[in-house]
């Protein structure tokens, strides 16, 4: 894979295993599924590469099969606000596709990722013809609204431990990211990019969360032990254990 070629030039047909990893495929009737599979394309993205740019016209509805993405936007002052990360199984941009408007955010690959997409015309056909697909999209839109509201709240939180906890909880949303496990493969630096903190400060926050039983840090990632505790940030940020370099290996 070469970053000198465009995502469009790298596209290919999805494998059966990749198709099975797409959550909304299971809500389609045989005729609808056949049409969706015929239009489906997948493409690899390099770390740091932009999958979507704010201002660009939408042409595909996109999702993530493998890797990790960041959804963000730049404000008038040149500051970047991160809305959320997108783990495997997540699909995004349905509102943009429905309105056929330019993207209002950027999507960037934080590591080598595999992107899936269906053309806008196929997306619209499924909306017009598939009850199961409509239900999936309605749930997505409803949950996405809550996610963006939460993202604005997180952006205003000054307590770093709470920021990390709430940001991690957002990556385990069962509606937006169905089929996910309790384990998230993510590095300190990737999490720092999502949260908007330094890698060292993220390390300290992870140690705090682990000491209160909310997570268990493993090599190359972490396991959520108490999702509700992360959502509610039920821990004492005043007392932090000593930081060690064993917490989530560096990128």
pLDDT at 239: 47
Q: What is the pLDDT of residue 13?
A: 94
- Give me the mean pLDDT over the 67-71 stretch: 92
Question: Which band of pLDDT confidence, cut at 50, 70 and 90, is reported for residue 245?
Answer: very low
Please state, in angstroms and rounded to a whole number, the distance separating the CA atoms of residues 124 and 175.
21
Mean pLDDT of 2-15: 82
pLDDT at position 157 over 50: yes
Assess whether pLDDT exceeds 60 at residue 36. yes
Complete domains list, the chain, with CATH = 16-155 (2.60.120.10), 160-232 (1.10.10.10)
* Residue-averaged pLDDT of the chain: 85
Q: What is the pLDDT of residue 67?
A: 92
More confident residue, 87 or 2: 87
pLDDT at 251: 42
Could you tell me the pLDDT band of residue 64, with boundaries at 50, 70 and 90?
very high
Q: Name residues whose C-beta falls within 8 Å of residue 113's C-beta, 6 or more positions apart in sequence.
A: 44, 45, 47, 51, 64, 66, 67, 68, 69
Per-residue pLDDT tens over the stretch 182-229? 888 888 889 998 888 899 999 999 999 999 899 998 888 899 999 888
**Residue 66 vs residue 84, higher pLDDT:** 66
How many other β-carbons are positioned within 10 Å of the β-carbon of residue 1? 11
Most confident of 122-126, 158-162, 234-238: 122-126
Share of the chain above pLDDT 90, in %: 49
Average pLDDT estimate for 83-98? 90
pLDDT value at position 186?
87
d(CA 76, CA 48) in angstroms, rounded, equals 23
**DSSP assignments along 30-79, one per residue:** HHHHHHHHHH-EEEEE-TT-EEE-TTPBP-EEEEEEES-EEEEEE-TTS-
The pLDDT of residue 237: 47
Tell me the C-alpha distance between 189 and 249, whole Å: 9
For residue 247, pLDDT over 60 is answered with no
When pLDDT is averaged across residues 85-99 and rounded to a whole number, the result is: 92
pTM above 0.85, yes or no: no
- What pLDDT, on the 0 to 100 scale, is given for residue 84? 81
């Amino acid at each position: 894979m070469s970053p000198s070629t465009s995502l469009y030039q790298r596209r290919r047909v999805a494998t059966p295993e990749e198709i099975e990893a797409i959550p909304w495929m299971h809500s389609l009737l045989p005729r609808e599924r056949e049409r969706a599979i015929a239009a489906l394309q997948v493409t690899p993205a390099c770390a740091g590469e932009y999958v979507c740019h704010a201002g660009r016209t939408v042409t595909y509805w996109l999702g993530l099969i493998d890797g990790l993405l960041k959804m963000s936007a730049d404000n008038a002052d040149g500051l970047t606000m991160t809305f959320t990360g997108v783990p495997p199984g997540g699909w995004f941009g349905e509102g943009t596709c429905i309105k056929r408007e330019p993207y209002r955010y950027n999507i960037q690959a934080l590591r080598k990722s595999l992107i899936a997409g269906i053309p806008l015309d196929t997306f619209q056909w499924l909306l017009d013809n598939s009850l199961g697909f409509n239900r999936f999209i309605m749930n997505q839109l409803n949950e996405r609204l809550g996610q963006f509201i939460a993202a604005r709240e997180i952006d205003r939180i000054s307590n770093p431990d709470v920021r990390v906890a709430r940001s991690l909880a957002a990556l385990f949303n069962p509606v937006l990211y169905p089929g996910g496990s309790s384990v998230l493969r993510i590095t300190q630096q990737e999490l720092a990019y999502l949260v908007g903190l330094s890698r060292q400060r993220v390390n300290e926050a992870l140690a705090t969360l682990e000491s209160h039983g909310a997570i268990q840090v493993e090599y190359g990632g972490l396991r959520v032990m108490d999702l509700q505790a992360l959502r509610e940030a039920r821990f004492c940020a005043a007392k932090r254990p000593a930081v060690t370099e064993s917490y989530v290996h560096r990128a």
